[in-house]
């Protein structure tokens, strides 16, 4: 199965981003019956001069091809608040082995946005990173008393189960493509280069789905990451034990920097125990569990609950199943 997915994504250019739904439009005001009476706590989160609506929109834009991405940034932020970094960005529309992300420079911070699972190959990356922690989570469901074990016990279990990764790491000098499999290590190197360029600015990481998980795993490995925002991303409490760069990071350090937005019927965040501040929001009944994982319903939910202070003009179709 893995070989067939590799071949499909490596050579099939039809497996691309051509089916993305346009985000920009002319709609910016929801009817009163669509707006929610009480604001959730996440509505008060502030990241430099940006709010959670900004962060979620930037994560949604990561799914667009580069030129459309640049165009939509200008559409949503006409005052040129962002400078698109031409060096630190990558858009992978087909193939394998490279993370899709982009970087924005602002007056107060540098923001790195990581795309979620899009290509077939990226599903393999999901399984690669979170298989062991998912098994640990299932054990906790089947045997609830296992949750009473010290966290270190779960870390040891996850570490020992990752035998395939240990084997490939030990033989990486013999496998030219092995580095392309380890998205976490690849992202850490990218962030270190970005840090070198923007030494005096706050570093903010954002990601949806796989991007949220990568943002957390790579972000906690760097001491100067100020904020990590994960939207529907898997947790990292146990999976961090797989990597030398993150296995010794204290939970206090993670909890202080990580912010999570999760739809209540989305199963992806269950892949590992969540850490940091968690905002759970209700996914509308009209959406399936799979649709609840999509970022567009989350963005629309936040606009309805927290308001649209910037007056984003969106395509209303993104708020429909």
Tens-place pLDDT, residues 207-254: 999 999 999 999 999 988 999 999 999 999 888 888 889 888 999 999
As a whole number of angstroms, the longest Cα–Cα distance in the chain is 62
The backbone torsions φ and ψ at residue 106, rounded to the nearest 5 degrees and listed phi first, read: -125, 175
In this structure, are residues 293 and 266 in contact, taking their beta carbons and an 8 Å threshold? Answer: yes
Per-residue pLDDT at 321: 83
229: exposed, middle or buried (Cβ count in 10 Å: 0-12, 13-18, 19+): buried
What is the pLDDT averaged over residues 29-41?
A: 76
* Full DSSP string of 198-262: STTSEEEEEEETHHHHHHHHHHHTSTTEEEEEEES----TTGGGG-TTTTT--HHHHHTTEEEEE
- Domain spans of the chain? 2-319
* Cα–Cα distance for residue pair 57/281, rounded to 1 Å: 16
Question: Given this model, what pLDDT does residue 162 score?
Answer: 58
Fold of 2-319: Rossmann fold (3.40.50)
- Give the closest residue to 64 by CA, choosing from 56, 52, 73: 73
Three-state DSSP class for residue 311? coil
Buried b (16+ CB within 10 A) or exposed e, 156-166: ebbbebbeebe
Residue 17, pLDDT score: 47
Q: How far apart are the first and last CA of the chain?
A: 31
The whole-number average pLDDT for the span 131-143 is 67
Q: pLDDT tens digits for 79-132? A: 999 999 999 999 988 777 789 999 999 999 999 999 999 988 888 888 778 776
Length of the chain: 321
Taking only the tens place, the pLDDT of each residue in 168-190 is 555 554 444 445 557 999 999 99
pTM: 0.85
């Amino acid at each position: 199965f893995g070989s067939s997915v590799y071949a499909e994504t490596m050579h099939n250019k039809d497996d691309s981003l051509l089916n993305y739904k346009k985000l920009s439009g002319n709609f910016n005001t929801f009817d009163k019956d669509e707006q929610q009476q009480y604001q959730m706590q996440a509505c008060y989160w502030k990241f430099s001069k940006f709010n959670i609506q900004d962060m979620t929109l930037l994560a949604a834009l990561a799914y667009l091809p580069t030129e459309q991405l640049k165009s939509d940034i200008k559409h949503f932020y006409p005052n040129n608040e962002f400078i698109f970094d031409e060096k630190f960005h990558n858009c992978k529309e087909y193939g394998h082995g490279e993370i899709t992300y982009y970087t924005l420079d602002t007056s107060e911070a540098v923001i790195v946005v990581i795309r979620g699972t899009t290509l077939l190959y990226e599903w393999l990356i999901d399984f690669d990173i979170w298989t062991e922690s998912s098994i640990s989570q299932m054990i906790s469901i089947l045997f609830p008393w296992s949750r009473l074990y010290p966290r270190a016990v779960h870390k040891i279990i996850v570490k020992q189960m990752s035998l395939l990764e240990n084997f490939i790491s030990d033989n990486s000098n013999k496998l030219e493509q092995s580095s392309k499999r380890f998205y976490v290590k690849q992202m850490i190197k990218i962030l270190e280069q970005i840090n070198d360029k923007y030494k005096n600015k706050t570093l903010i990481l954002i990601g949806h789905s796989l991007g949220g998980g990568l943002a957390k795993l790579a972000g906690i490995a760097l001491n100067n990451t100020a904020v990590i925002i994960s939207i529907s991303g898997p947790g990292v409490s146990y999976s961090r034990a797989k990597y030398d760069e993150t296995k010794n990071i204290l939970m206090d350090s993670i909890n202080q920097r990580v912010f999570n937005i999760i739809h209540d019927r989305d199963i992806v965040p269950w892949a590992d125990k969540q850490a940091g501040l968690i905002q759970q929001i209700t996914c509308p009944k009209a959406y399936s569990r799979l649709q609840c994982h999509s970022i567009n319903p989350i963005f629309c939910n936040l606009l309805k609950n927290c308001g649209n202070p910037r007056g984003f003009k969106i395509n209303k179709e993104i708020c429909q199943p």
